Structures are given as C-alpha cells and as structure tokens.
Amino acid sequence: MLWLRTLSLVKNRAKKQLTPKSLGCYTRWIVFCFAIRLTVGGLLLPDLGWLPIAVASERPNIVFILADDLGYGDLPCYGRDDLSTPAIDRLAKEGVRFTQAYSNGPECTPTRAAFMTGRYQQRIGGLECAIGTGDVGRYDDAMRLAMAGDLGLPVEEVSIASLLQAAGYDTVLFGKWHLGYAEKFSPLRHGFNLSRYCLGGGMDYFYYTDNLGIYNLYANGEPLRTKGYFTDLIGDWAESYLAGVGDRPFFLYFAFTAPHSPYQGPSDDLGGPLSAESPLWDQSGADQKVYCAMIERMDKAIGRVLEALDRRNLTNQTVVIFASDNGGTRSGRNAPLSGYKGSTQEGGIRVPTIVRWPGRIPAGITSDQVCITMDFSASIIRLSGATLPPKYSLDGIDIIALLEAGAYPMPRTLFWRAKRADSTWWAVRDGDAKYWRHQKGDKVEEHLFDLSNDPSESNDLLSAQSTKAEKLRSMLTRWEEEVKPHR
C-alpha cells in the first residue's frame, strides 16, 4: 500500500543523514502521498498526528474568506479592469491563484453546508438550495423540513468548527451564516466560540433587515443592535479580534455578504431600511458603479485583516484562503464562462480562489488544479491536527497538501446537483469532460463539453460522443444513490 510504503520510506531515510534540502523533499513526498491517498480513498484517516505539519507547535492559524455571489471574472487578477482590489491582488501575488476552482453549489446555502461539513451537501438533506427568506424551503425536501422546523444544518452533523474547537483552536465567525434560522442551527451550536453574523441570505447593509423586514444581524444566537455598513463592520470586528489574539491558534471564518444584493455601496444609506419593492434587491439589476464599490469595500476589509496579521507578525503562521460561494449573477462578470448563479454551467460554479501561506506554498503562481470548496475543509482539518470521528469520511481532498508537494495537476471527478421548485440542475466533471443537465417541469436539456479547450461551453459534444455522455450519466446516477440524505 502507498501509505505503508511511505511510512517505510520515512523510517529508512531517518537512519541516514539528511540535509535540510533532502528532508524537505521527503516531507513533500509524504504530504503528496497523503493527498493522493485522499484522492483515491475519498477520505481523511482519523489519525493525522504523524504528519509533520500537524505538530501542535506548528499548527497554522487559518483565515477562510468567502465572498458572496462574486463572479469568476469580477476581480482584476481574473481579468476585470474597471475596479481596484489591492488586497486580493496581494494574496494572488503572494500565493496561488486557481483557474479551475469550483463551489460545491451554485447558490449560498449548499456551498456553505459543504464547507462546514467537508462533504457533499446532498448528504445532509434539504440544503441543495439557498434557504428562502424567512426560513422557507424552496423544493420538496426542504419544504418538508421547514414544516417540521428542521430546515438548517443539524448539530448532529460534524462541522469543521467543532473539530477545530476540540483541537484547541479559537473559532470565530464574522459575516454570513445562512445555514438555518432557528437558534438550534446557530454558529454557537456548531463550534464557534464567537460569532457575529447575517442570519439569512441577504440583508440591508445599513439596517440589517431582509426584503420581508426581518432583522438579520445576530451575535452568538441573539439579535445584535449596532450601526454601520455591514462590510465595514465585519472588517472592524476581524481587525479588533486579531489585535487581541493570544498564542492559541485561531480559525477565522470571514464571510462577506458582498457583492450580494441589495446593491448598496458604503455611501448609499437612504436613511431607513429598504422596502420589499426596492429595485436594489434585484440580483440582475445592479448599477455597475455600485457593484464595483461593494467589491472594493470588501477588498478594503480584507486588506485590514492582512495588515493586522502583519502587525502581529502572524503572516507566515497563517493560511489565508479566499473564494466565492458560487458564480456571479447577471450583475456580475463570469467571463469567459457561460451561465450564472443558480446553474451548473461553468459560470454558476467556477469561482475565483486564492491560497496564501508564505514559505509553505509557492508565491505568485497560477494553478490549473481542479478543486472544490470542500477540499479546503479537508485541508483545514489536516492542518489543525483535528481528529475525525470514527467511520466519518470526507468527500474532499487535501488540496493544500498538493500545493505543498508541488504536485502537477491531477484529474478529478466532481458532482453537482441543485434543486429549486420544479427545476433541477445536475453536472459531473470527470477529467476534462463535463456533462450538465437541466430539468424544469417536463423539459430536459443536456450537454457535454471538453473543458480543456472549451471552458465557455460553446461546442456541444453530446451527439458526437454519446458513449462518453452515457458514462457520465451513469456516474451521476451512482453518485446520487451514494449521497442520499439520512433525514
């Protein structure tokens, strides 16, 4: 077995004198083998303590930054030229920028559920669509759970925050939650020591109400009354937290609502909460100057966090991950991809993603490695030295281990399914082959593409490669059977 061969290699080489350079090579080999093991087995072994990186004294701090509805082409480092994001540009310059990173779902809740559990969100039940404003289920399974008061992420699910908390990390959430309205689904119940958050899918950036007038700003399960532009507030909270952080390693989940609607820039306070009829809620109707201002303000908050890490001399001891929860809306830019948020076309699920860890992963490079949100959950768990419960397996792979090892991009097989009302989107990517299907009522549309030379999904190969299409359909069917929910 590769695992045993790797351990044997370490033991044999330990008998010989190793230079720092050769030791580094063997360490990278260990990490690479570990990542390959994840790829083949689809799980993390419960005991990760033997890995050099999981030694308690070397465990890094972790900052996971999640933008909301940010399109693949919405940043200068991904090709946009009408706005400025120096902080995110800095992350790209000092880290690895991914060109083929995906969100677990084409909407908010599904991706967040997958990130928190490290598994396909379909396994949970009811969370394949964004939870509707006011705790509304939007497809049959979600409606059933909402009627029973159970629409959200159950505390019985293993969350990365609870695992890291048990491993000795300080666990903090500032930003968007969207994993259940009831207090029993609150971040506090899922392992966060401190949480200040937007409860639902979107809220007025100044008055914290949604389009039904429901107050959405909470702290540790209770309503929080304060003032300020929400993007600035979470930047304030993160900066203040980092100024007082001690020697204990921390996990900061820094989850923006920007640039999700309502489309309000930092100077757009109208003196009272937005009405339900306000056009600013329309996800397809953003004023581009306002949309850019929202992204730039988010970048400013990210910059404050990076500077806070610099001031505390924590930059080299902190892994920073930046991603988006899904592709952009029609107000954003997904170029050169097709489709938008809500679909399993590339524009709905391929997202800007950057990882920085000075001295441990390369700086200023672009990676074509295919990855998905839940891969970072696997990486975070391994880096923290946390222990998984017996028989609990993750669906993601340790993507940061691949970066540490300097591994060449490896093919992946990934699946998607998204439900809303009578609409269902499916997709599977197997290597460079991508099959997606959309059913709305009785109407079914399906396509096959080769993403290696057609990332915009413009050349349909369904008829020309019918055998390949049938194989991918069968893979989807088997996957759906495997991830059936347990509730």
Domain boundary among 414, 430, 454: 414
Does residue 141 lie in a domain region? Answer: yes
Least confident of 27-36, 65-74, 170-179, 373-382: 27-36
Does residue 202 lie in a domain region? Answer: yes
Q: What is the CATH number of the domain that holds 141?
A: 3.40.720.10
In the predicted model, what is the mean pLDDT of the chain?
91
Does residue 2 lie in a domain region? Answer: no
447 and 318 in a single domain? The answer is: no
Check the CA dihedral 426-367-41-46 and report its sign: negative
Cα-only R_g, the chain: 22
Does residue 39 lie in a domain region? Answer: no
Cis bond leading into 76, ω under 30°?
Answer: no
Confidence of residue 486 (pLDDT cuts 50, 70, 90): confident
Please report, in angstroms and rounded to a whole number, the separation of the first and last CA atoms in the chain: 36
Domain boundary among 414, 445, 473: 414
What is the pLDDT, as a whole number, of residue 56? 56
Does residue 342 lie in a domain region? Answer: yes
Give the whole-angstrom CA distance, residue 83 versus residue 98.
20
Confidence of residue 58 (pLDDT cuts 50, 70, 90): confident
The secondary element (H helix, E strand) that includes residue 14 is helix 2-14
What is the pLDDT, as a whole number, of residue 313? 97
421 and 403 in a single domain? The answer is: no
Mean of pLDDT values over 257-268: 98
247 and 316 in a single domain? The answer is: yes
Confidence of residue 57 (pLDDT cuts 50, 70, 90): low
Does residue 466 lie in a domain region? Answer: yes
Is-contact 185 153, C-beta < 8 A?
yes
379 and 429 in a single domain? The answer is: no
- CA 206 → CA 108, 161, 259, 265, 333, distances in Å? 21, 28, 14, 10, 25
What pTM value is reported for the model? 0.91
379 and 448 in a single domain? The answer is: no
Q: Which domain holds residue 289?
A: 52-414
383 and 352 in a single domain? The answer is: yes
Does residue 329 lie in a domain region? Answer: yes
Structure tokens given for 104: 């677990």
- Which tens digit of pLDDT belongs to each residue from 336-351? 999 999 999 999 999 9
285 and 317 in a single domain? The answer is: yes
- Which tens digit of pLDDT belongs to each residue from 434-478? 999 999 999 999 999 999 999 999 999 999 999 999 999 999 999
Count of CA atoms in the C-beta half-sphere (13 A) of 165: 17
- Which tens digit of pLDDT belongs to each residue from 91-142? 999 999 999 999 999 999 999 999 999 999 999 999 999 999 999 999 999 9
Contacts of 474 (CB under 8 A, 6+ apart): none
> CA torsion 380→386→392→395, rounded to 10°?
10
Give the whole-angstrom CA distance, residue 290 versus residue 268.
9
Mean of pLDDT values over 72-91: 98
408 and 431 in a single domain? The answer is: no
325 and 191 in a single domain? The answer is: yes
Q: What is the CATH number of the domain that holds 445?
A: 3.30.1120.10
Give the whole-angstrom CA distance, residue 291 versus residue 270.
17
Percent of the chain with pLDDT over 90: 87
Confidence of residue 33 (pLDDT cuts 50, 70, 90): low
Identity of the amino acid at 215 = Y
126 and 239 in a single domain? The answer is: yes
Does residue 7 lie in a domain region? Answer: no
- Which is more confidently placed, 79 or 15? 79
Per 3-state DSSP, what percentage of the chain is helix, strand, and coil (rounded to 5)? 35, 20, 45
Please tell me the total count of domains within the chain. Answer: 2
Q: Would you say residue 28 has pLDDT above 70?
A: no
Q: In this structure, what DSSP letter does residue 418 have?
A: E
427 and 410 in a single domain? The answer is: no
75 and 104 in a single domain? The answer is: yes
Domain boundary among 388, 414, 440: 414
Question: How many CB atoms are closer than 10 A to CB 139?
Answer: 17
Give the whole-angstrom CA distance, residue 283 versus residue 333.
13
